[in-house]
């Protein structure tokens, strides 16, 4: 009787901690319950870097907050994917650099977009994007804004540079999708962007 009462108190305390805190991650068997409400992006980047084992940097001009929540425990890779999706919803990109490094940046003109393929089913398009992301590529699925069109586009994203283009081509090849996705032709020279 005493043991059940104590367990209930501990569970209630943990639930209250999760509910009322702004940034909580409970560790459970190599998995995390994540509840972040309006946490600053610098803190979110630091925590996701710790949990996922990836080096993530925030561009200086990027500010704001982010909210993440999971109802089930997440693996380190799932925490990273949830963070990446949340950033995309805010118009931000997680661009892969060298090795295990990433940078959170704005999805402005510095990122090129190219429609690699159009699929009839969203699930198929999402599966292709997942394969590209697993191969360290950047892509997203976009549905047509026209109700008459039923296609889902796989949009390849890459930095506006020779290195960004090469990284995108390499990711498509590593994912084994070079016969399925169209890729842009290599530009003669990328424009120099002033910062």
Per the structure, how many domains does the chain have? 2
Q: In what order do the strands lie in the sheet with 31-40?
A: 23-28, 31-40, 65-69
pLDDT bracket for residue 40 (50, 70, 90): confident
What residues form DSSP beta bridges with 135? Answer: none
159 domain residue, yes or no: yes
For residue 174, the model assigns a pLDDT of 92
Q: Which residue has the higher pLDDT, 140 or 28?
A: 140
Ordered alpha helix ranges (H), the chain? 2-20, 41-52, 76-89, 122-134, 162-174
For residue 188, the model assigns a pLDDT of 54
Q: Are residues 121 and 160 in the same domain?
A: yes
Q: Are residues 25 and 40 in the same domain?
A: yes
Task: Please give the model's pTM, rounded to 2 decimal places.
Answer: 0.46
CA–CA separation, 112 and 93 (whole Å) = 12
Query: What is the radius of gyration, based on Cα positions, of the chain?
Result: 20
Q: Are residues 57 and 87 in the same domain?
A: yes
Q: Are residues 83 and 122 in the same domain?
A: no
182 domain residue, yes or no: no
Q: Which domain holds residue 139?
A: 111-174
Average pLDDT over residues 136-141: 86
Instruction: Identify the CATH number of the domain in which residue 25 sits.
Output: 3.55.50.30
Instruction: Indicate if the pLDDT at residue 20 is higher than 50.
Output: no
62 domain residue, yes or no: yes
CA–CA separation, 173 and 153 (whole Å) = 19
Q: Are residues 33 and 80 in the same domain?
A: yes
Q: If you search the block for the tokens 């704001």, which residue do you land on?
A: 64
């Amino acid at each position: 009787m005493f043991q059940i009462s104590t367990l209930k108190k501990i569970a209630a305390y943990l639930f209250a901690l999760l509910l009322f805190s702004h940034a909580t991650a409970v560790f459970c068997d190599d998995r995390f319950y994540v509840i972040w409400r309006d946490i600053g992006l610098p803190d979110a980047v630091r925590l996701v870097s710790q949990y996922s084992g990836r080096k993530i940097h925030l561009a200086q001009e990027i500010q704001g907050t982010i909210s993440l929540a999971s109802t089930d425990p997440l693996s380190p890779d799932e925490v990273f994917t949830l963070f990446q999706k949340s950033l995309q919803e805010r118009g931000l990109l997680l661009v892969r650099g060298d090795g295990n490094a990433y940078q959170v940046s704005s999805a402005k003109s510095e990122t090129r977009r190219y429609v690699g393929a159009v699929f009839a089913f969203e699930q198929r398009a999402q599966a292709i994007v997942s394969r590209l992301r697993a191969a360290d590529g950047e892509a997203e699925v976009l549905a047509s804004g026209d109700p008459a069109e039923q296609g889902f586009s796989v949009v390849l994203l890459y930095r506006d540079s020779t290195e960004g283009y090469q990284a995108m081509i390499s990711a498509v090849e590593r994912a084994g999708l070079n016969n399925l996705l169209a890729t842009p032709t290599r530009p003669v020279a990328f424009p120099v962007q002033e910062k």
